[in-house]
Amino acid sequence: MLSPRNLLLSCLCASFITSALQAQDDQPVFVFRNSIENITGDLYRASNGAWHSIFLVTDEGIILADPLNTDFAEWLKGELDTRFDVPVRYVIYSHSHFDHAAGATAFADTATIVAHERVLLNMDGRYPHMPGDMIDRNANGMVDREEIEIPTNADPGICGMFPGWFDQIDLDHDGIVPPAELQVDILPPDLTYSERMTLSLGGKTIELMHPGKNHGDDMTVVLFPDERVVFATDMIADALVREDIRSVPSACGPLDGTPIAEWIRSYEAVLALDFDIFAGGHGAFFSKAEVALPVEYLKDLQAAVSNGLARGMSLEQMKEQILLEEYADWAYYDRLRPKTIEAAYRNLVQFRF
């Protein structure tokens, strides 16, 4: 049974992302079936519905990336104990967002928690970097109801969270959520890095890379060189992606507050890695050729909107005239094409790239 707290921690992710949009009759359907599947060799994907983690089994223990949430992590610990009989030695966070980083307490007695150094900054009591355009609009350092409801109501199923989520994170029901209350299920990292880090365990070596900012400002990409597999979350394949990587990006809050040029650079940094399989935090397994497609979308979006700005087009003109026709068969094209144009417009005006 899921506790209400962890049901919500699971859902939060879901809402804002949506199984909902893909459900029939516009009724959200949240299915959080837990599963484990082999990727290759001793590398596995563990899933809580559409949220995926990854783990590598060695003789000396397990390296796990993203515990997802407390209930899932406790379930996973039981499965790992039963199946492999070695402890989890490392837990890596793909980034600090609550719907991927929560739950490491289940492994804390044996594992070192590893993350990019900015994860600590996002857990220092200040309003953290948040997904889905949930930002500190009144600059009081607290999560207020309207800061969740504004993006939730503006882009249902895409940005913000699901209706009622604020009441679930407001554990003491005082109408305001300090960052520590939001992050109560996230353990801070024990070990951090800035650009790259290598971890070795049981004769295996993996590489951590901070690709730069995109969806978050504290992202870690994990490369499993022997398996030729890359793990990255909420970037390249965002939470809307399922079987096909060809999905228009959700583009919340002018692209999560990161310059679009930085998004492109960071995606290209992943493409430059030596791998065959992209096994991300959302979506199916994708080839390197498929990983190149979201990069092309961002480049074409940037070029088209930059060109529009140079020609003095208004935002409304751009939304009408920049059709990005080559992406017309991508998921969410009708709904999100104008939104990504607006996001890129605001992004390019703000950052002047």
User: Which position among 45, 52, 97, 282 is part of the footprint of Zn ion (CB under 5 A)?
Assistant: 97
Residue 36: count of CB within 10 angstroms of its CB: 15
264, with CB counted inside 10 A (0-12, 13-18, 19+), is: buried
> Which string of x and - marks every residue 288-327 that binds Zn ion (by CB under 5 A)?
----------------------------------------
By beta-carbon distance, which residue lies closest to Zn ion?
97
Residue (42 or 238) nearer to Zn ion, CB:
238
Nearest-approach distance from CB 307 to Zn ion, in angstroms = 30
Residue (156 or 281) nearer to Zn ion, CB:
281
Residue (93 or 286) nearer to Zn ion, CB:
93
User: Which position among 71, 155, 234, 262 is part of the footprint of Zn ion (CB under 5 A)?
Assistant: 234
> Which string of x and - marks every residue 193-232 that binds Zn ion (by CB under 5 A)?
----------------------------------------
CA neighbours within 13 Å on the CB side: how many for 99? 31
Query: Which region, judged by CB under 5 A, interacts with Zn ion, from 6-14, 169-177, 234-242, 256-264?
Result: 234-242
Q: In what order do the strands lie in the sheet with 51-58?
A: 34-40, 43-48, 51-58, 61-65, 88-92, 112-116, 191-193
- Both structure tokens of 258: 């990161």
Residue 120: count of CB within 10 angstroms of its CB: 14
Q: How many chain residues bind Zn ion (CB under 5 A)? A: 3
Nearest-approach distance from CB 95 to Zn ion, in angstroms = 6
Query: Which region, judged by CB under 5 A, interacts with Zn ion, from 89-97, 296-304, 332-340, 342-350?
Result: 89-97
User: Which position among 131, 160, 179, 212 is part of the footprint of Zn ion (CB under 5 A)?
Assistant: 131
Nearest-approach distance from CB 94 to Zn ion, in angstroms = 8
Residue 4: count of CB within 10 angstroms of its CB: 8
Nearest-approach distance from CB 321 to Zn ion, in angstroms = 32
Query: Which region, judged by CB under 5 A, interacts with Zn ion, from 90-98, 106-114, 182-190, 306-314?
Result: 90-98
| Three-state helix/strand/coil letters over 141-210 | CCEEHHHHHHHHHHCCCCCCCCCCHHHHHCCCCCCEECHHHHCCCCCCCCEEECCEEEEEECCEEEEEEC
Query: Which region, judged by CB under 5 A, interacts with Zn ion, from 14-22, 66-74, 92-100, 201-209?
Result: 92-100
Query: Which region, judged by CB under 5 A, interacts with Zn ion, from 127-135, 174-182, 191-199, 334-342?
Result: 127-135
Phi, psi (degrees; rounded to nearest 5) at 153: -80, -30
Whether residue 65 contacts residue 94, with contact meaning beta carbons closer than 8 Å, is answered with: yes
Q: If we measure between CA atoms, which residue out of 97, 31, 79 comes closest to residue 233?
A: 97
Nearest-approach distance from CB 35 to Zn ion, in angstroms = 21
Phi, psi (degrees; rounded to nearest 5) at 51: -105, 125
Q: If we measure between CA atoms, which residue out of 74, 66, 27, 26 comes closest to residue 50?
A: 66
Q: Site residues (CB under 5 A) for Zn ion?
A: 97, 131, 234
